[in-house]
């Protein structure tokens, strides 16, 4: 396994009254035994595709070939999508250098620069499209349902601008889409748009929700765009699934232990926030992906915890004060990569001149390594729960394992909370209301008074 987890800093034996008693941990692990059994059965019967994704190979060649065709002659590759249709891809792309200050080695004549537009902002979209050279720009549009309004706005605006640029005949060369297969009686706006313009489309598995789709072609396309080894990525995820299948008891499986500890602290010790604190720039978007995974999967029926994305060492200077000395309601998970001896070595004379003799002769990685040790120890000394996950090398195998670990941990946590990790009823209700307002159906909100509805829209525009 490329990961090593320790929950000692979460237990009563180590941090006192704020920690989880061993008997509570054991009880939670016992409650997870039937859920683990059902997951093993789902794997055997292939009824939960998520568990089989690490073994998939047939979708890799089509994704690679589609991307190669799309990017011929391209200098910029834009990904449109939101939520689970983007965060998983961003997580993988960042391992390949995307979004890392100063890391341009993956941008070359052979590989176009990568951009993600995941948040719909009218000004941003207008500025982005107006500044594009459409002749050398390509677009990947991702929406599982094909009806995500933000993504449709992006796609429609880009296609229209391509037409206005005199490139209508080349639209099939400029765009690629990922969405669910055609189904009888199901409306899919993105697929209809693509069929009309002859845009190539890859199928999104209809049985894998967006936030769990990072290891499918939703994430493979950005990963391939950044030159990552996607087979090794999936091999890392397979390591975790195999560990689940081989575990004799829940207490032998890290994801089950993580779920049992986290939910135990929430129920027994008033922990209300789960903070993910990786010490690597290349895991910044992973933390954001985790926030969606945890929040959207567990925040139901009055249950769930607030997920917080942090980044070390920078958030030692912006958040750590709260976790060490604020209200005792945070569980901090520190993800550490072995980094001793890496990076620039600091000259002794300059370190002395800067009154920092303790840095003399050390590398930048030595300082981060020391912080990775010190912060969990400081939290433990304050009686604050902290979990550590150690990685020897942050590569494709490790990232694949991390993603599968947290997907399974989330599914198991949902079992302890008694919620369905795969639906999102509150989000769907918001989508319905959004469509209703855009369609002008505001009469219900204004007691059926048409003039009142008109005034409501005008007032909103003025604001």
Which of 150, 296, 396, 409 is the catalytic position? 296
| SS3 at position 116 | strand
Exposed, middle or buried by CB within 10 Å (0-12, 13-18, 19+), for 400?
buried
Rounded Cα gap, residues 422 and 419, in angstroms: 9
Rounded Cα gap, residues 429 and 442, in angstroms: 15
| Separation in Å, CA 351 to CA 201, 261, 325, 344, 356 | 56, 43, 31, 13, 5
Determine whether 317 is an active site residue: yes
Rounded Cα gap, residues 146 and 156, in angstroms: 12
Determine whether 431 is an active site residue: yes
**Which of 410, 421, 405, 403 minimizes the C-alpha distance to 91?**
403
Determine whether 45 is an active site residue: no
H or E element at residue 279? none
| SS3 at position 178 | strand
| Separation in Å, CA 191 to CA 147, 195, 211, 345, 417 | 9, 6, 21, 53, 37
| Separation in Å, CA 130 to CA 119, 125, 160, 162 | 17, 8, 12, 11
Token pair recorded at residue 192: 């209809």
| Separation in Å, CA 345 to CA 100, 366, 393, 407 | 21, 9, 20, 38
Pairing of strands 113-117, 76-80: parallel
Residues annotated catalytic, as ranges: 296, 317, 431
């Amino acid at each position: 396994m490329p990961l090593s987890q320790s929950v000692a800093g979460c237990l009563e034996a180590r941090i006192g009254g704020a920690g989880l008693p061993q008997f509570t941990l054991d009880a939670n692990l016992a409650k997870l035994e039937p859920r683990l059994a059902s997951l093993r059965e789902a794997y055997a019967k292939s009824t939960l595709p998520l568990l089989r994704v690490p073994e998939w190979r047939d979708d890799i060649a089509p994704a690679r070939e589609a991307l190669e065709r799309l990017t011929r002659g391209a200098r910029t590759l834009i990904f449109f999508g939101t939520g689970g249709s983007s965060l998983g891809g961003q997580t993988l792309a960042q391992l390949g250098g995307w979004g890392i200050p100063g890391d341009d080695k993956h941008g070359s004549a052979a590989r176009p620069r990568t951009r993600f537009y995941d948040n719909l902002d009218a000004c941003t979209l207008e500025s982005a499209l107006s500044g594009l050279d459409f002749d050398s720009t390509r677009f990947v549009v991702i929406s599982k349902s094909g009806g995500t309004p933000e993504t449709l706005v992006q796609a429609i605006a880009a296609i229209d601008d391509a037409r206005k640029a005199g490139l209508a005949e080349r639209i099939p060369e400029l765009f690629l889409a990922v969405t669910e297969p055609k189904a009888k009686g199901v409306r899919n706006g993105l697929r209809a748009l693509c069929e009309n313009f002859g845009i190539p489309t890859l199928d999104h598995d209809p049985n894998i929700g967006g936030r769990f789709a990072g290891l499918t072609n939703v994430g493979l396309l950005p990963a391939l765009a950044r030159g990552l080894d996607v087979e090794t990525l999936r091999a890392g995820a397979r390591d975790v699934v195999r560990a689940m299948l081989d575990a004799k008891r829940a207490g032998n499986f890290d994801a089950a232990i993580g779920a049992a500890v986290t939910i135990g602290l929430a129920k027994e010790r008033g922990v209300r926030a789960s903070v993910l604190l990786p010490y690597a720039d290349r895991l910044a978007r992973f933390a954001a992906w985790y926030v969606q995974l945890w929040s959207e999967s567990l925040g139901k029926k009055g249950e769930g915890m607030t997920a917080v994305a942090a980044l070390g060492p920078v958030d030692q200077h912006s958040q750590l004060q709260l976790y060490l000395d604020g209200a005792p309601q945070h569980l901090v998970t520190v993800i550490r990569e072995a980094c001793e001896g890496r990076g620039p070595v600091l000259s002794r004379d300059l370190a002395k001149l800067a009154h920092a003799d303790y840095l003399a002769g050390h590398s930048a990685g030595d300082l981060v390594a020391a912080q990775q040790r010190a912060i969990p120890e400081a939290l433990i000394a304050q009686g604050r729960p902290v979990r550590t996950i150690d990685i020897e090398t942050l590569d494709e195998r490790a990232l694949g394992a991390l993603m599968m670990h947290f997907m399974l941990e989330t599914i198991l946590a949902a079992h302890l909370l008694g919620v369905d990790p795969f639906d999102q009823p509150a989000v769907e209700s918001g989508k319905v209301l959004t469509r209703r307002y855009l369609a002008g159906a505001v009469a219900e909100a204004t007691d059926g008074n048409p003039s009142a509805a008109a005034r409501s829209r005008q007032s909103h525009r003025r604001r």
